[in-house]
Copies of this chain bind each other. A is one copy, B any other.
Amino acid sequence: MDSAVTLAEARARGFDCFALSMDYGQRHKTELERAKAVALAGGAVKHQVIQVGLSELGGSALTDDIDVPKDRDEDHIGQGVPVTYVPARNTVFLSIALGWAEVLGARHLFIGANQVDYSGYPDCRPEFLRAFEALADKATAVGAEEGAHFKVEAPLLDLSKAQIVQRAAELGVDLSITITCYDPVDRDRVTYSCGHCDACILRLKGFAEAGVTDPIPYLEEQQS
């Protein structure tokens, strides 16, 4: 959902967008299929999946056999670093995007990072994004030779999930093809979100607060 709205924001600002997904051994491959659908529906010039074997390093419930936490209290979701944190994920992700940007001649990296509902991820903080911009200018041939400046754009950084849902409506983003769940289940060719992991809880809360019905299917009826 955040990626879909981020793409729409970039398109609305007039950018030609090259969409990048990272296959880092996440348990839910559905994420990558949906990412492709979202990229194409959102008018990306190209969607590229890059494989990165982060799961071999261990340390996260999103790639390991660690259980994804369920039914946690909303107030506790933002506390500390969650077990779903993939070490250095956004750093690796932005680094690969930087390499592609250099090949393409692009200078703007858009990322759907968001620090409002989910402050536990260190690599979603503005000081991380600014540090990455500083690095990008030193790390690249164009930065070294021409003094080019890279910009990391995170248009959702300070939006609540409810505001992201509202922004999606304003920009005409189809959220029915997005998926947010950390632990989705496939049944009869339909992918159901669990409704109980942190990501589902925050998504459902965002839709509820925005007064919008979430168009995706959940395992049980969550939106009573």
CA distance A51 to B127 in the complex (A): 29
Among candidates B48, B56, B125, B136, residue contacting A138 with C-beta atoms closer than 8 Å: B125
Question: A127 touching B122 by the CB < 8 A rule?
Answer: no
- In the complex, which residues of chain B have a beta carbon less than 8 angstroms from the beta carbon of A56? 48, 50
| A218 close to chain B: CB less than 8 A | no
Interface size class of A (residues with CB under 8 A): 35 or more
The verdict on A171 contacting chain B, using a C-beta distance below 8 Å, is: no
Least CB distance, A109 to chain B, in whole angstroms: 11
CB neighbours of A59 from chain B (8 A): 99, 102-103
Q: Mark A137-167, 1 if CB is under 8 A from B, else 0.
A: 0111101110000000000000000000000
Q: Which residues on the B side are within 8 Å of A128 (C-beta)?
A: 135, 138-139
- Minimum CB distance partner of A88 in chain B: B99
Interface of A is mostly: helix
Within 8 A of B (CB), among A89-106: 89-92, 95-96, 98-100, 102-103
Stretch at the interface among A37-45, A79-87, A198-206: A79-87
A182 contacts which chain B residues (CB < 8 A)? none
Q: Output the least CB separation between A175 and chain B (Å).
A: 29
**Proximity bits, A11-55, B CB within 8 Å = 1, else 0:** 000000000000000000000000000000000000011111110
Q: Taking A49-B53, A87-B140, A131-B135 as given, write out 19 further A-B residue pairs in contact, using a Cβ cutoff of 8 Å, ordered by the A residue number.
A: A48-B57, A50-B53, A51-B51, A51-B53, A52-B52, A54-B99, A57-B99, A58-B103, A59-B102, A59-B103, A85-B141, A87-B98, A87-B99, A87-B100, A87-B102, A88-B96, A122-B140, A125-B138, A131-B131
